[in-house]
Amino acid sequence: MKSHKIVRSTLTLLIALLVLDGTIHAQSTENEPVAANIAEHLALDHQLDEIPEDIRLQFEQNPLQLPAAENSQLITAFKDAYNDSLLLHDFKSAFADSLTPELSGKLQDWLQRESTKRITDARQSFYTLDGKRNRVITMYEMEQEPPSQDRVALTQSLTDTTSVVESTVESSVIILRSMIEAVNQISTQRTFPDSQIDAIANNFRTQIQGQISRQYANQMLVLFHPVDSATIQDYIAFWGTETGQQLDQYISHSIRQAYEAASQRFMESVSTD
Amino acid sequence: MKFRLFLLSVSLFIIYGCSASEPVTRSQPQLSTPAPADPSVDFSEMLEPPQDWHHLDEDRTRFRGISSQLAYEELLKDRSPEQRVIVAVIDGGVDINHEDLKANIWTNEDEVPGNGVDDDENGYTDDVHGWNFIGGADGQNVDNDTFEVTRLYAKLHPKYADADTTTFTPAERKEYALYKKVENEYRYQINKQLEQYNNIRSLEQSMERADQILTDYFDGNYSYEDVQKLQPTDQQTAFAQNVMSYVMENDIDSTLIAEQKKQLYEFMKYSYNPDFSPRDIVGDNYEDPSERYYGNSDVTGPDASHGTHVAGIIGAIRNNGTGMNGVAGNIWIMPVRAVPDGDERDKDVANAIRYAVDNGAQVINMSFGKSYSPYKAEVDKAIRYADENGVLMVHAAGNSSENTDKKENYPTDTFGDYFNGDTSAKLWLSVGASGWHPDSAYVGSFSNYGDHHVDLFAPGVDIYSTIPGNKYKRNQGTSMAAPVVSGTAAVIMSYYPDLSAAQVREIIMQSVVKYPEQMITLPQSGPGDAQMVEFGTLSVSDGEINLYKALQAAEEMSSR
């Protein structure tokens, strides 16, 4: 009867695993609306596209001086792989997988607060057509009449409170690396050994670190221009809480997951071409 | 919008060129003495041409000017003009007190200045030197205005943004198609202006950093040659060399950057702002496009820079030892203000044309244009009116590097539908901009062109002319090319008063200088490989205006 016990215990374990797996997927499915809500309210759907777009624009100018056809192939494959719908889908999936019911509930409550709504309205508006128009107006007017040091310090502390800079740097490195590796696949004239790719990536990381920190701080000055300082302080305080730190961690993780998935798609595309 | 050339959006790797601007106070004219063609003129090394290059003769100087200097020296030296020609300048305003224009500004002799009475009963009170259709009776003026695409977006977006297209009537379907086109362009422009602003800020930061690096490296000042000779041994110096080489080669300085940023700011704050509407200042019933009598007599307005430059090209006082020479000597400039910093409105354009015709203009210069014309029918009526009254209309083709046979540019000589209209004005000339490089860069990279819609080319690159405050500046654009043609027409009319406007037009078209072997880099508005085309495929006449040859042709026609 020994074998019968082993089979039954194995079966029990398998069933337990199946149930557990099913629970996780059920939670993931339940969490997707929360993930979508977070992505929308924090305008992450727009932000996901920003880094790939920057890198695409630079490589569109063919800085490696590839033959036109090769560069065109590279850019087309990049655009397909880093498509914003796919990025958002992968982000939401990864984020949903991270959420627990308890955290979901806390985040929903946080989003409903009036002060949070003032922040999320500003974030969403930033990416609308009118928001883009107003960005130029705000940037120019801020150059003519710079904001107070207190205001600058406030938005700087927002930059320092989250991992957004580090996340952006690492995301940029992931995307750049994928571009260089793709060049290796496509180009008949240019090849980069792994050691050189590592060196380029590290050099790039060093170069952009300070730049991204400054850019983010400036962007926050513009984005939160219509928001009062008290609301921003409240927002900063949230990110210092356990809930805020978890949210920050899961957002960074999910963004990286989305870019890594895109990078994978990109490499698969150029490898089969 | 006035066809002023704007410049530069800089990414890390791609650079657009820009115009040099050098405001100068009270300068003596720098005239080139005609000499036998100098084979040693090296255009490849030349950063800018002589200030009067557009007057020069190619056979003598190698500059592809309109040979006006030679015409005055040889053909007209023993002749006196027989009539003083009135040239209307429909634009943003003219500085009528400019030292090099004042004596040539038209005066309405039938109007008693400042008495508040419409003495000549032409419908406009105290229109002593012209009229301003974008001002209020209280003296206030429109300065900035929206672009037509913004006005259409503001009107159509609320109606169609969330509309159920399945229930549309045929009229709604047609209007919806217009809405989608407008919406696409509005969205494109907003994104583009934002990108340009970011790029300019990025360039500015790079310039500051590069300058600091090189100042430290050279322990003080440095020249372009110093930068070129650098052999960088580190990334920082290499970066600084790249940036400053570009900056110095393109004459970019902090003033230029500041101007560009301000322009983009004003575009976003006013011209692309669907909630901005300065029309209340005018106080007309804007919904009545047939309304004629509104405005005020301030023909200078808040920003006369563009109109003054245009006016100077046509008729800055010749040979007075000051400033520069206009193309035409014996003329009156009639300023008609109708073009804001933004897009002109069809109603104002129509009324400006009518005003010019009714008050004696023989040539109308129109250095403005736009891509939409919602009240085209009114403008068509006015153009017909000018046509029927024998007034020659000269229009700048536009600065979008586009083929106007395929992309609308208004106003146009074609009545009705831009592409399908079957009648057109007879007395119309559309002008593209040529430059001083006698090579593939001969046509201005910004210039519109069109084998059917652009009639000819005229110098429009690095043109030195008057700006408000007794100053002078180089500018470029088809805005500068059109007045070269207007001035040429005026010269012909003043020496051959018996020729009709139609004959003058024919003379101008038939006497162009052609370059059948000349291949041109086709102007293009976006990225992509450059195309080379024959210069002759870019306009109806296949050539560039030439006053000397036009006068010879005029003489011949008069003798028949």
Measure CB to CB from residue A136 to each of B13, B14, B264 and give the nearest one. B264
Question: How do the pLDDT tens digits run along chain B, 560 residues long?
Answer: 655 433 222 222 222 222 222 222 222 333 444 444 566 678 877 878 999 999 999 999 999 999 999 999 999 999 999 999 999 999 999 999 999 999 999 999 999 999 999 999 999 999 999 999 999 999 999 999 999 999 999 999 999 999 999 999 999 999 999 999 999 999 999 999 999 999 999 899 899 999 999 999 999 999 999 999 999 998 889 999 999 999 998 889 999 999 999 999 999 999 999 999 999 999 999 889 889 999 999 999 999 999 999 999 999 999 999 999 999 999 999 999 999 999 999 999 999 999 999 999 999 999 999 999 999 999 999 999 999 999 999 999 999 999 999 999 999 999 999 999 999 999 999 999 999 999 999 999 999 999 999 999 999 999 999 999 999 999 999 999 999 999 999 999 999 999 999 999 999 999 999 999 999 999 998 777 789 999 999 999 999 999 999 999 999 999 98
Residue A273 pLDDT:
56
- Residue closest to B131 by CA, chosen among B104, B95, B93: B93
What's the mean pLDDT in A13-27?
45
Distance CA A48, CA A255 (A): 7
Whether residues B197 and A139 touch (CB distance < 8 A) is answered with: yes
| Residue A93 backbone dihedrals phi, psi, to 5 degrees | -60, -50
- Output the pLDDT for position B174: 94
Distance CA A240, CA A161 (A): 7
Distance between CA atoms of residues B411 and B418, nearest Å: 9
- Find the helix or strand (DSSP H, E) in which B334 lies: strand B331-337
Query: In angstroms, what separates the C-alpha of B529 from chain A's closest C-alpha?
Result: 9
Q: Do B187 and A129 touch (CB under 8 A)?
A: yes
Tell me if B12 and A143 make a contact (CB, 8 A cut-off). Answer: no
Residue B556: its H or E element = helix B547-559
- pLDDT (tens digit per residue) in A60-89: 888 888 888 889 999 999 999 999 999 999
- For A199-247, write each residue's pLDDT tens digit: 989 988 988 888 888 889 999 999 999 999 999 999 999 999 999 999 9
**Partner-chain residue, chosen from A57, A134, A135, that has the shortest CB–CB distance to B11:** A57
- The beta strand positions in A165-250, using DSSP E, are none
| pLDDT digits 0-9 by tens, A171-203 | 999 999 999 999 988 887 778 888 998 998 998
Do A133 and B261 lie within an 8 Å CB cutoff?
A: no
- How many whole angstroms separate alpha carbon B348 and alpha carbon B148? 13
Token pair 């992968």 in the structure block, residue: A90
- Among B13, B194, B197, the residue with its CB nearest the CB of A58 is B13
Give the pLDDT confidence score for residue B38 in this predicted structure: 60
User: Which chain B residue has the Cα nearest residue A53?
Assistant: B195
| pLDDT on residue B39 | 61
Q: Do B12 and A139 touch (CB under 8 A)?
A: no
Is residue B24 within 8 A of residue B256, CB to CB? The reply is no
> A134 in contact with B at a CB cutoff of 8 Å?
yes
Note whether A61 contacts B11, CB cutoff 8 Å.
yes
Asked if A1 is an interface residue toward chain B (Cβ–Cβ < 8 A), one would say no
Numbered residues of chain B with Cβ closer than 8 Å to any chain A Cβ:
11-14, 186-187, 190-191, 193-194, 197, 201, 261-262, 264-265, 267-269, 272-273, 527, 529
Strand partners, B459: B434
pLDDT band at residue A112 under the 50/70/90 scheme: very high
> Of B13, B190, B262, which is closest to A129 when you measure between CB atoms?
B190
Query: Model pTM?
Result: 0.86
Say yes or no: A60 contacts chain B, CB-CB below 8 A.
yes
Note whether A129 contacts B186, CB cutoff 8 Å.
yes
Residue B14 distance to chain A (closest CA, Å): 7
Evaluate whether B333 touches B104 at the Cβ level (below 8 Å): yes
User: What is the pLDDT, as a whole number, of residue A26?
Assistant: 55
- Cross-chain residue pair B13–A137, CB shorter than 8 Å: no
Amino acid occupying residue B394: V
Q: Where in B367-518 does DSSP place strands (E)?
A: 392-396, 428-434, 456-459, 463-467, 471-475, 513-514
Measured between alpha carbons, how far is A186 from B64 in angstroms, rounded to an integer? 47
- The count of CB pairs under 8 A between chains A and B is 47
- Among partner residues A58, A133, A139, which is closest to B190 by beta-carbon distance? A133
Cβ atoms A273, A186 nearer than 8 A: yes
Closest CB to A136: pick one of B14, B187, B193: B193
> Does B272 sit within 8 Å of A63, measured CB to CB?
no
Residue in A closest to B272 by C-alpha: A133
Cβ of residue A68 closer than 8 Å to a chain B Cβ? yes
Q: Do B273 and A133 touch (CB under 8 A)?
A: yes
Query: Helix or strand or coil: residue B26?
Result: coil
